[in-house]
Amino acid sequence: MMMTFDQLGLRPELVKATASQGYASPTPIQAQAIPAILDGRDVLGGAQTGTGKTAAFALPVLQKLNQEGRRSRRPRCLVLTPTRELAAQVGEFMKVYGKHLSLRSAVVFGGVNINPQINTLKRGVDILVATPGRLLDLAGQKMVDLSAVEIFILDEADRMLDMGFIHDIKRVLKLLPGKRQNLLFSATFSEDIKKLADKFLANPAMIEVARKNIAAEKVDQVVHPVGLKDKRVLLAKLIHDGNWQQALVFTRTKHGANRLAGYLEKNGIGAAAIHGNKSQAARTRALAEFKKGKVQILVATDIAARGLDIDRLPHVVNFDLPNVAEDYVHRIGRTGRAGCSGEAVSLVSADEQKLLRPIERLLGRKIDVEVVDGFAQNPADKNEETFVNFTRKGGRGKTGGFSSRSRSTGKRRNSPGEVRAAAG
């Protein structure tokens, strides 16, 4: 019997939110952390992106704040993250999981105008997700009062220390009330992390999950090497040959998203682009048409795709690989949910190959490389050899040496295991 979210003691509004995200059952970190956090325990969690760690703390936190119901203008939960991308991501998940509750959450980070953040804080928030520098800035200006924090979460503590945030963390800790629940998540446990954990966790539940990635397990992933200029032609071919009805395609830039959507439209494929330069109304319209099936292909940048409430996509395409490995995991996390099979396709030009390594390290596995007939990397591209060497350790083989899949039949010549072995 598969465990369910309501067996973990979560209220129906939260269970409903996980169902609409397409989650069939809790991941190991969720199964262990949720009951401990609901119980009020401190937690020391060993987990990295891709294990479902965000929901592991977000769901019980939302439940606790909701049931205690005290409305204060001051934050009652503080999540510290090392980067603004992660802060935005956590903030979006708080909104997505909490959509049937009436708690308020906000995200603050540096590098952007502080005034809108001040205004949001003035209106009152229950959950504040922050990077350390901007938080201390706001606290220094007396724009945020952390004296009502009941739950403090340090996310990706190892990265925090790597980025030199230790003093900032200590400064933040001094602003918090003494009595509170503390959660610390980290992918690795160095001596420094242990020291930090000793400092502010009290008798924590120790939860460690294997280096295992849900995304990596449930999603059929493939890399197609292709010349930069041929990417869009290959994408159109994959859509046609595979008779794709719905796919989310990621590009790195807004401009790239527009151009690609235009190209697909011109080739008879219904497509729309969503990105930061589009009005909220235009984005909502594009999303609605995509959901209804009027538009087959939604082209999006990472930021625009955050928090998009779309479930169970059969195909996710990395038209460009993301610069940050975690973004890859979040992109492909949009397919293969709830037991549905999903496919994540990455179109990788020679200059992007260097981005594959950190992604594979995060996934804990190699991604299969398959050349689509007629679409090997552009021979005029001087970097082509590099790609071949990188994927086939031990030989400068021709691209034909890869497992190549005939797109018309969808059959693979090599099993993924064989390819992985060949790829080292």
Residues in the site for ligand AMP, rule: CB under 6 A? 21, 23, 26-27, 30, 49-55, 214-215, 329-330, 333, 337
SS3 183: strand
Closest among 32, 102, 92 to 67, alpha carbons compared: 102
Structure tokens at 228: 């930069």
Cα atoms in the 13 Å half-sphere on the side-chain side of 251: 22
If you ran DSSP here, which 8-state letter would residue 22 be given? T
Of 21 and 105, which has the nearer Cβ to ligand AMP?
A: 21
Nearest distance from C-beta of residue 288 to ligand AMP, angstroms: 21
- Least CB distance to ligand AMP at residue 15 (A): 11
Q: How far is the CB of 166 from ligand AMP (least distance, A)?
A: 24
Q: Based on CB atoms, which residue is closest to ligand AMP, 129 or 215?
A: 215
Select 158 or 230, whichever has its Cβ closest to ligand AMP: 158
Smallest gap from Cβ 276 to ligand AMP, in A, equals: 20
What's the CA angle centered on 86, arms 319 and 324, to 5 degrees? 35
Q: In angstroms, give the least distance from the CB of 22 to ligand AMP.
A: 7
Q: Which is nearer to ligand AMP, 49 or 117 (CB)?
A: 49
Tokens standing for residue 357: 């390594």
Which CB atom, from 337 or from 392, has the smaller least distance to ligand AMP? Answer: 337
Is the CB of 53 or the CB of 224 nearer to ligand AMP? 53
Phi, psi angles (nearest 5°) of residue 337:
-90, 160
Q: How far apart are CA 275 and CA 255, in angstroms?
A: 9
Q: What share of the chain is helix, strand, coil (3-state, %, to 5)?
A: 45, 15, 40
List of residues 6+ apart from 174 with CB closer than 8 A: none
Q: Side by side, which strands form the sheet with 247-250?
A: 271-274, 297-300, 247-250, 315-318, 342-348, 219-225, 368-369
Measured from the CB atom, the residue of 10 and 372 that comes closer to ligand AMP is 10
Nearest residue to ligand AMP by CB is 333
CB of 29 to ligand AMP, least distance (A): 8
The answer to whether 289 and 272 are in contact (CB under 8 A) is yes
Name the residue nearer to ligand AMP (CB basis): 57 or 244: 57
145-164 burial: b if 16+ Cβ within 10 Å, else e: ebebbbbbbbbbbbbbbeee
Smallest gap from Cβ 143 to ligand AMP, in A, equals 29
Closest CB to ligand AMP among 53 and 84? 53
The minimum distance between CB 131 and ligand AMP, in angstroms, equals 17
Rounded least distance, CB 339 to ligand AMP, Å: 10
Residue matched to tokens 């294997």 = 210
Distance CA 76, CA 175 (A): 13
Angle subtended at Cα 326 by Cα 355 and Cα 212, rounded to the nearest 5 degrees = 105
